[in-house]
Amino acid sequence: MPDVYQKIKTKRLVLTGAKAEELLDPLRTGMPALDSIYDDKVRFKPTPKGPTYRILKTTEVDSYETTPTALALTKALRGKNRPTPAAIAAALSHKPLAGENFVGSARKEVRLSLATARTEQFSDVSKLISSLPSVDAMVTLSTQTNPSSNRAQQEKRNIHVAGFLYAASREADNDFHLIVGRDLKAAPEMYMTMVVSGLPSANSPAFGSLNTARTAYEEFFGKNLPGAGYHFYHPPIPVQIDGSLFFNTTHSTGQQTGPPSLKSRMPTIWEVHPISSVKLGP
């Protein structure tokens, strides 16, 4: 009998018709949608003796985004003809925000501060998610979204969690959204958003920790940092994260954060936000 699984794999970038550098396996855990991949050429080796990672650059953006980049990308993808890699790259070429500071406003004080609590240890993302209050329970609190709103009692938790980085993007507010999940062989699949925040002012009590985390993240990826379109990583990158919990009230209705291809396996809008320490790689 023919191996049906092998027949599903492809070396063609469906979106553009270009040839992929290596076989793409649509059934691999944590893969983006095949028709969102426009480039798979980048390989990078963060440390001389460490593994080499493959970056799948995609057109996947958070569904709620209305930035110039997101709008330009939508226009490029809606044409009658197949989009060229150059057209997609041009749509995604808007320069990121200058500097490293956070430029958002919703719940700004909470996003840029750390809870005062002991650090809870989690060896798996699923265990962290199972420890969180339900979304329905949090919605009943009617948490305010103004810049100076306080941290809810349920958010006054610090955690350490081990997992794997499957995808990442740079958001319009200068945050890096990290999509962190379980080991490739673990079931069921489960992912959660964790945020390397844009920086607060230098006199903020959290500035030192947030700056150290952001520097570590940016140095690991170097010139391969993501932009508005999600980068997916193969193999997923081992990661250890420390940070405070944050309930993303602004997404308690409508579209939640995350790349469209993984959102069905992102069971919560709770986040680790901000990250105070990140260690990437084995």
- pLDDT tens digits along 93-113: 766 566 899 988 888 999 999
Residue 172 pLDDT greater than 60, yes or no: yes
Residue 162 pLDDT greater than 80, yes or no: yes
Confidence grade of residue 135 (pLDDT, cut at 50, 70, 90): confident
Are 88 and 59 in contact, with CB atoms under 8 Å apart?
yes
Residue 91 pLDDT greater than 80, yes or no: yes
* Confidence (pLDDT) at 115: 96
* Confidence (pLDDT) at 279: 98
* Confidence (pLDDT) at 84: 81
Taking the domains of the chain in order of start, what are their residue ranges? 108-280
Most confident among 66-70, 100-104, 118-122 (mean pLDDT): 118-122
Residue 170 pLDDT greater than 70, yes or no: yes
The answer to which of 41-55, 71-85, 174-188, 213-227 has the lowest mean pLDDT is 71-85
Question: Who wins on pLDDT, 41 or 105?
Answer: 41
* Confidence (pLDDT) at 63: 79
Q: What percentage of the chain exceeds 90 in pLDDT? A: 64
Are 158 and 244 in contact, with CB atoms under 8 Å apart?
yes
Residue 62 pLDDT greater than 90, yes or no: no
Question: Residue range 176-189: average pLDDT?
Answer: 96
* Confidence (pLDDT) at 144: 64
- pLDDT tens digits along 230-257: 999 999 999 999 999 999 877 666 678 8
Most confident among 39-53, 64-78, 238-252 (mean pLDDT): 39-53
* Confidence (pLDDT) at 1: 43
Question: Who wins on pLDDT, 8 or 31?
Answer: 31
Q: What is the pTM of this model?
A: 0.92
Residue 5 pLDDT greater than 60, yes or no: no
Residue 88 pLDDT greater than 90, yes or no: no
Q: Domain 108-280 has what CATH class?
A: mainly beta
Arithmetic mean of pLDDT over the chain: 90
